Amino acid sequence: MRVLVIGANACGAKTACRLKRLKPDWEVVLIDRDEEISYGACGIPYFISGDVPEETALRETSFHTVRDKAFFENAKGLVVLTKTLAQEIDRKNKVVKVKKLDTGEEETLSYDKLVIATGASPKVLPIPGKDLEGVYTISGLKAAVEIKQKIARGEVEKPLIIGAGFIGLEMTEAFSDLWGLPVTLLEYFPQVMPRILPLELAKIVENHLRERGVELILNARIKEILGKDGKVCGVKMEDGKVYEADLVLMATGIKPNSELAKKAGLLVSPLTGGIVVNERMQTSDPDIYAGGDCVEVRHLITGKKVLMPMGSLANRQGRVIANNLAGEFDTFPGTVGAFILKCFDLAIGGCGLTPEVAKFEGFSDVGHALNNQSERSHFYPGAEYAFYSLTYEKTTGRVLGFHAVGPFTDGTLARVHAISSILPFKPTVKDLIQLELAYAPPFNSALDPIHDTAHVAENQMEGRYKVLALEEFLKILESGDAEWMFVDVRHPKESEHLVKKYANYISIRYEEFRGRVNELPKNKKIVLLCSTSRRSYEIARFLSSKGFEHVFVLNGGLNYYRKWGLEF
């Protein structure tokens, strides 16, 4: 058998190597238009930042051998054609027309089976100035090396990044943290990581960026990229404001490289632009497989087809393709979109849907539980607070998503892993409560944050208290509506400035509440406030037993406002 694999990065390289292990006597040909192959593209921001000192480190194995053409030929037994562009697939005759980019020579390669792993390309905004010198996308190692060299030569003083998604945030840190450059970050939407992170957690990230000196502009409307003598010098907004810049990085998403497949008559989605494959990663031609960033996959929460450009998924898909080619039956069922990233001192992670996306996707009666607590036992030295969000269906209790923002430790990753591993099986809030999770004070609390976040959701579902959303709380408080009374159950010294500022804001300490309940009027809407909402919830239950009908608890607690950087 002769198998051609077009694309020699995550999915393609994994497919070729796995297949050669399963079928050592088969001829496996790996084709790529670049000379540098099989590199860790997700590590590019860390190469630019200097955390990864050399670009060759992104192409090394765990035993520090560079994965180049010679490595794949000598160590893996593959035939490797680098600097070779696959131009056309002739499915009838089962050949691929290729062009040698260094010589211009063209030839045809026959195949018994074919794998398309052509990846994706960065989106380029269709605005004036996009072709100026100094305007970049992270399109590969060459662009990354060029950017780092410019910074090292002192040619970059005012970098500007367009897009506050994964790449945008990672590159913001890369420019700012090691190189000390003042970064301007422009985001079209009203929050960072739109559709990826719940708003309440996104605000924590936004405040952290500003604390680290980043000029973050949300709801940014870009008119053009300005240039002088052919080089970028700034970005002009629709309102006329100009942000100076000597380097502009577009991090506005990706588009799948599916043109080759489309030209060959393979089924390509008109909605996502990705190559259509089944669970075995077969295209509409049973002799052609495809995987990685160029294909669409099923989202296991919505059931819809989506693009999910992640190296982790591409590697898994490569193994599935190789297994099926070798005669084993294997499937890739889909994704829940699990992710993790570092942003300065924060770990940001999640899986599934945010509340906003769940509503948009048509889930009815979406619930949203917020929790904040220390990652480790509160008494353990160095325990820091993390913030959690759980999205669920109120009617069924089905968990739709879980997201977290915490200190740069493994705590966020561990909890995302726990949820993402069971999310495909449609767990309920009750299932999360019953999860058996390992415990020791240096690692977590006896009731893990997953448990406590699920407890919040369960209490909401059972109607044990009424929830007041964070944004709604601010509006009511600032309105001065006399129908409402705000009762802070923290220590009086923590709330004295609020008591002075707002006429309908009072302080009754948690430990004193049962003896002072008669001070509260039953004809008012009462909002109970504390740092995490735990004390507030307990008092709400007590007031309910005393005949108070309009009692609310602030979703998540006042610690969220501290992390938002708000003073009110």
> Cβ atoms within 10 A of the Cβ of 304, count?
12
In whole angstroms, give the CA distance from residue 120 to residue 136. Answer: 16
To the query of whether residue 294 is one of the catalytic residues in this protein, the response is no
Residue with tokens 């708003």: 199
Asked if 38 and 15 count as a contact pair (C-beta separation under 8 A), the reply is no
Structural contact between residues 19 and 28, judged by C-beta atoms closer than 8 angstroms: yes
The sign of the CA dihedral 374, 375, 380, 383 is negative
CA gap 392, 458 in Å, rounded: 10
C-alpha torsion angle, residues 80, 82, 86, 92 (rounded to 10)? -10
* Alpha carbon distance 164, 49 (integer Å): 17
Dig out the tokens for 126 from the structure: 């269709």
Q: Which amino acid is at 238?
A: E
CB 246 within 8 A of CB 134: yes
Question: 17, 42, 233, 530: which one is catalytic?
Answer: 42
CA dist 430 and 206 (Å) reads 32
Of 252, 159, 167, which is closest to residue 213 (Cα–Cα)? Answer: 159
Burial of 54: CB neighbours in 10 Å, binned 0-12, 13-18, 19+ = exposed
Residues 6+ apart with CB under 8 A from 426: 398, 399
Helix or strand (DSSP H, E) at 359: helix 355-360
How far is 100 from 397, CA to CA, in rounded Å?
57
Q: Kindly list the catalytic residues.
A: 42
